[in-house]
Structure 1
Amino acid sequence: MSRGRHARKSRRARHISRLSLALVAGGAGIAAPLLTAGSAHAASAPAKVQEQKQAGTAKAGAASQAKTEQKASSYTVVTGDTLYQIAVDHDIKGGWSTLYNANKKTVGGDPDLIRPGQKLTLDTAKAPAERSSTTQRADRDAAQRTSTVHKTQSTNLDGWINEALAIMKQHGIPGTYQGIHRNIIRESGGNPNAINNWDINAQNGTPSIGLLQVIKPTFDAYHVAGTAYDQRDPVANIVAACNYAAKTYGSIDNVNGPY
């Protein structure tokens, strides 16, 4: 009898054990989604951190770029540079002429003559505004009305050179007939209307003109009072070119190639 009771008790125990296992299994089935949800939530945290990190990097990059742009207020000339290319590279509003106007004290009278090591300002907004061509023309007309302007008399190269030498002597500009003649033949062949439409000056919008192939900015800077304000005027062209050569090379006689 005791064995029978014990057997019945064992069956009940086994029933309870099965129930307990079922409950445990059910609990595991319920808990599984919670664990999965928890894992998904945990995985989103690194993604969010990564997103914040990327946003921070982008912000730092923008700040660095702004800082770099802010620093780019000057440029140091290197070999091979031209004002035209510097203006293009740095997106200068108004182009090379605006850049030249802002740096005229540094560059000097010839915008085509910039030297390695010169430090140019790129902050052209603070540069003094150029006087309008109308104002400049009015000033020249007024000056010519109040002073005697030499009118070229000769009709040939020999006469033009001699007239120019007379004016150069009055202004202390060095040069000889031979030096002037040699350079004229090389530059223009003796044609006062010669114009170069293909070199870098022409590409920059300032073609070389006249007997000694002078560009407009150089002619303006080295024009000698008392001569015609015209690049094609033979005497005015020679005198302005010789004045430039004197300041740059000591004399037109020292020029034996492109200058």
Structure 2
Amino acid sequence: MPKNIFTRGHSRPLNRTHKLAIAGVGTLGAAAVALTAVPASGQTTTSEAAAPKAKVAYSTEQIQDVHAGVTGQLAGASQKVASIEAKKEATAKAAAKKKAAAEKAAEKREAKETASRSAKRAEVKKASTKSYSDNLDGWIREARDIMKKHGIPGTYEGIHRNIMRESSGNPKAINDWDINAINGIPSKGLLQVIPPTFEAYHVPGTSKNIYDPVANIVAACNYAADKYGTMDNVDSAY
């Protein structure tokens, strides 16, 4: 039998030229197949005619919606801030009004308490202020109360007795005939005290007028206490 001419040992390897030739044959075959698929009318259509270009439309509605949404949020935030500020202002006004009312109430209370204290002081003063009649009895009683405060002795009877002997109860009496008068310093007042003696034994708080009945009695009794122990021990000119 003849040897197989296609045995592996006698085959040649395909070079670049052979490969290109085979690729060309494949391409031609594919073209032939495509032509057999053309309709009998022989007319062909392109993809451009079958699928016209679509126009792209750009809408601003979404942008406007976003803008409106942001504006609304800002407006809402502003309203909230305004509401908070209004509440703060209302709270501050209420606090100020409450404080003013409290201060006014405190002022009224203080004024009332001050008036009450003044009234009480007036009552105490009125109660502590003893009234005396404007006559010999009243003068002696007032003089004795002053004498007690200053530790000056003298009874009502002893003072009254000496007054009646010296001036008969006349606070304006003046001696213009005795030795004191001759010396230019006449005795004056209820208990006939000369001016130097009155000034030396004057008691603070009493009048400095030698003719004042109370001041005259207190100064005379102060002198008598210094010289005689008490006015009760005086039975004649002293």
Q: TM-score, normalised by structure 2?
A: 0.45
Q: TM-score, normalised by structure 1?
A: 0.41
Which entry has the higher C-alpha Rg, 1 or 2? 2
